[in-house]
Amino acid sequence: RKKITLGSIRTLYKRGEPITMLTAHDFPSGHVADAAGMEIVLVGDSLAMVAMGMENTNEVLMEEMLLHCRSVARAAKTALIIGDMPMGSYEISPEQALESAIRFTKEGRVHGIKLEGGAEMAPTIKKITTAGIPVLGHIGLTPQRQNALGGFRVQGKTCAGAMRVLEDALAIQEAGCFATVVEAVPAEVAALITKRLSIPTIGIGAGNGCSGQVLVQVDMTGNFPPGRFLPKFVKKYGDVWGESLKAIHAYRDETKSRAYPASEHTYPIPQAELVEFER
Ligand code: KIV
Ligand code: NA
């Protein structure tokens, strides 16, 4: 397969073919997303929870994001790789944001970065894209601002709220975003925003009228124990946790019963050598 570039994303968008994006946080998850043909692989700061066991995305550090980006970059040979700028790495000034974006490119080895926010981030987005680093926007529900938003709440549920999301979308498009994530927005609102824009929208909890979709890999592959809370928009396509548990149980049982390792898992020694050794 050919390497995915901003040009390929543009071509998919113009053709009306939905763009597929999935998160990855290490070499194996990057490898499988790439092998499955994901056009964009996002090293999301959701790795704070799914790979590091943190409460939310706010405590993940720049250095930690960069380390995970490097692992994914070694695995993804075809996909466009986007690194998620963590809270605190881009809000202070456009200069700070550009410095962080450069670190993502040089140390994280990603092809572009994502940052959360709307119209207020326009000068920052402009600064980064002008330096030649592609920026993916993220509007609607912005998890890094969950404390200010009063939790994980659907955005754009009123006419005024929907107008705000649309204005944010137009502002970050004007600032140079090549596409934008639209999170937790009513389907009709996301569809209308998609129609008004001339860049692709990548939806998560935003209905099927977007130009593409994104999900967190461990959510959609079911790589978590039963009982965990899942947002309404997640579809569990697999049971990786169940499969892993089954395999590890079987290994435990066979080790306890000495059924493993069997002769096919052991190295032979010529009979004559063995006889001499045993003497
Ligand atoms: O961190 C993340 O995984 C994300 C996606 C859900 C868009 O930001
Ligand atoms: Na994120």
Q: Which residues have beta carbons under 5 A from ligand 2 (an ion)?
A: 44-45, 84
pLDDT in tens, 227-274: 988 999 999 999 999 999 999 999 999 999 999 999 999 999 999 999
Distance CA 158, CA 163 (A): 8
- ipTM score of the complex? 0.99
Question: How far is ligand 1, taken at its centre, from the CA of residue 81, in Å?
Answer: 13
pLDDT in tens, 116-159: 999 999 999 999 999 999 999 999 999 999 999 888 999 999 99
Closest-CA residue, ligand 1 atom 2, reads 44
64 alpha carbon, distance to own chain's centre:
15
Q: Is 179's C-beta closer than 6 angstroms to any atom of ligand 1? A: no
Task: Give the catalytic positions in this structure.
Answer: 183
Closest-CA residue, ligand 1 atom 5, reads 44
Q: Which atom of ligand 1 sits closest to the CA of residue 143?
A: 8
Sorted by where each starts, the structural domains of the chain and their CATH numbers stand as 6-238 (3.20.20.60), 243-278 (no CATH)
